[in-house]
Structure formats: structure tokens, C-alpha cells
Amino acid sequence: MTKIFVERVRKITILIFLSSLISLIFISILPCFAIEDIEGNIIYYNIESIKNSDDKEIKTLFETLNLIVISNWVLIIFTLLSFIGTILIISNKYSNIAKIIMLMVCANIIFSALSVVLSWNLIKSTGEINNAHFPFILSGIAINYQYIPFISFAFSLFGSILYLIIVSNFYFKYFMGFKKQKKIEKKPSKEKKAPSESLKQEVKVFVNKSIPQKTTSVPQQPSVSKKEESFEGYIQEDHADSEQYPVPERRLQTRKDLIPDEEPVDVKGPYEKPFEKDIEPDKPKQEEYPEKKEQEIPSPFEKALSSAVEKRQLSENKVEELPKQSPLKKRLSIRCPECKNIFTVEKEEGVLETKIECPKCGRKGVIKQ
């Protein structure tokens, strides 16, 4: 955006500079008017030759020409300033000075318009002077010399208009964008201030509850409070995952496996086993969850971060556990069909049948692959 703007401004500035330089040269070189003497001969005059004239009308002509020269010099200085402004814009330094310069240079439209008007007046007033003639290039061809600088003034006016449009449009968009940004910045800062602190606390609690897991070989009936915590944690975590990130497969399996409670023998992976406690949550505890969820709504980023942290910790646990477990052995939690006792058994992979015995009631059985 800025690059295109600068490139356009540079080209337009060159156009204005060249047109004003050429017009200045034309004014000082070309004859500005001609007078017919008594004998019928025509004398041509340029700006230098009428400088010291005593005639009032010719003096006014000279003043007009002088004004044109001054306005053109101002235009040239403005174009040089515009160059400096553009380089300051590119440099990204002193951007405020650059803005001031660029907006100030927009005033070149006044001077270019002034030079056009004055040039037109010069053409008009030349015809009103007694015995005055237009300075034609050749006597036979009706091309007035005065039109040549006038055309270059018109070019500089065209360039100035373009410059004004481009610069004003750019800065208008810039200021509008700046205002919008300010509005956007204000809104979230107000919104964020209140919930961010509570969320931090919430995330801490949430992470503390859900992450630290340690496995025990044959756990006894867990206490109710621990069940609650674990259950809440996992539900929250799954909820967080569902918004932005896909839920890991293993966790999904645990959620699905919560349903077949009544099966006598459950064969699960090592990481699903801790959740097996959560298989039998009390119903009222489940009902408590939505209320808590309403109270503590973590932001998506915090959710994602916490879930990522949890995943990391799980993976770390995995790394810790892996050396403990032999790669060929598989731990299985088994429920005794008679006394409903749940106990763990190590089953070697590849073995078709493993004989087991319930540690509580002594019932014997076989696990088939």
C-alpha cells in the first residue's frame, strides 16, 4: 500500500517538477508579446526586455510574468519537499514530519492554479494593449508563444490535482484506519480486564485438577471427592478440545468406554485405566457440572493452552511409564464376575490364553485374546 502510494507520488512529483521547470525556461526564453511600430514592423519582446519598461501596461504584463515565475519557483520547492516527504515515509522514521510535509505540499494546487490563471490573463491582456500582437512562432502560422508555457502550466495543474487526490485519499484512509484500530483496541482492553484475572485462577484450578495423575496397580474403591474432581476435569478438558483442537483418539475411547460398565472383563490401554474410576460417577455430580461451567468460562486460548499442557504432561507420564512396562506385557483391569472385584493382571502379548485367579474370592478363569 505504502510502496504503491510512494511510487505514484514520486512519479507525479517528477511530472510537476519537470512541467514547472520547463515552463520557467519557456517564460524566460520565449517572447511574451509583440508590438507593431509605425512602419508596420513587429518587435518581439521577452521577459528580460520588458523588465525596465516605463509603460504601465507593459509593467503590469511584467508583474504578471514575475508572479508566474514566483509561483513556479514555489512549485519547484514544494516538489523537492515532496521528494523528502516520500523518503521519510519509506524510512518509517519521522512519520509525523512526513505527514506534515506531504499535506503541506498539497498546497501546490493553489500555485499551479494561480500560474494557469495568470497565464490565461496574460494571453487576454496582451490583446488589449494598443498595437500589441501575439508573439507567433512564425508570422504565417497562428501559434501563439504564450500558449506553450500555458500548456506546461496545465500539466503542472493536472499533476497537482492528482497529487492532492492521492495524498488526501491515502491519509484519509490512514486516519480512518487509525481511528478504527483505536476503537478495536479500546473494546477488548475493557472486556479483557475483568475476565482475564478470574480465568487465570480458573485455569490454575482446572489444570491442577486434571493433570496430575498417578496410576496405582490395584486401586481400592475411590473416595467420592476424588471421583468428582477427576470427572470434572476430564469433561472440562474435552469441552476445551472440542472448540479448537481435535480430541485425541485415546481420550475419545475412554469417553465411549464409559458406557459398557456391566461387562465382566474390560480390556483397555494403560492410559484409559485411570479414567475407569470415572465410569461410575454419581448422577448428581454430573448435574453439578453445567452450573460450574456457566460460572467459569475459560477463554479459548486458555482452554487450548491448558489442554496442550495436559497433553504434554500425559506424554511425559507416558515416557515415565514406558520404561517401567515391559514392551511385551500388557496390564489389564479385570472385574470378577462373582464378587465384582476389580484387579489388574499382566498379560503377555502373543499368548493366547492367560490363567487368572481372583485375589478376593479365589475364582479361577482364563483371558482369551
Partner 1 sequence: MKGEFVEENNSVNSNKEQKIKEQFLDEAFKKVEIKHGIRKTDEKKSKKITYEKKFPKLCILLIIIAIIVWISINYVPWGYIKYDTGSSEMELSINRDFILSNESGKAIDTNVSKNITNLFSKPYYLGLSTNDFSDTPKLAENSIIVLIVLCILITIFWAIDKIFNFSAEIFIVVHFVITTTVIVPCMFIILSVSKFVGAQILIYYNSHFITAKILTVAFPVAFVLIILGFVTIRLIFTVIKIDFKEMQKLLKTGVTETMTFR
Q: Which positions lie near partner 1, rule CB under 8 A?
A: 2-3, 6, 10, 14, 21, 24-25, 28-31, 41-49, 51-52, 76, 80, 83-84, 86-88, 90-94, 204, 207-209, 211-219, 222, 226, 229-230, 233, 270, 273-277, 305, 308-309, 312-313, 331-333, 342, 344
* Residues 6 or more apart whose Cβ sits within 8 Å of residue 245: 304, 307, 308
Cβ closer to partner 1: 2 or 169?
2
Cβ closer to partner 1: 36 or 294?
36
Q: Which of 83, 80, 85, 77 is nearest to 103 (CA)?
A: 85
Cβ closer to partner 1: 102 or 211?
211
CB of 187 to partner 1, least distance (A): 20
By three-state DSSP, how is residue 138 classified? Answer: strand
Q: What is the CA radius of gyration of the chain?
A: 45
Distances (CA, A) of 325 to 41, 271, 330, 335: 120, 12, 8, 22
Q: Decide: 61 and 49 in contact? Cβ < 8 Å.
A: no
Cβ closer to partner 1: 187 or 204?
204
Q: Which of 32, 37, 36, 68 is nearest to 49 (CA)?
A: 32
Strand residue runs (E) in 113-165: 132-133, 136-138, 141-144
Cβ closer to partner 1: 83 or 120?
83
By three-state DSSP, how is residue 342 classified? Answer: strand
DSSP code of 30?
Answer: S
- Give the DSSP letter string of 168-206: HHHHHHHHHHHHHHHHHHHHHHHHHHHHHHHHHHHHHHH
Q: Which of 292, 276, 278 is nearest to 231 (CA)?
A: 278
CB of 213 to partner 1, least distance (A): 6
Cβ closer to partner 1: 209 or 285?
209
Cβ closer to partner 1: 294 or 308?
308
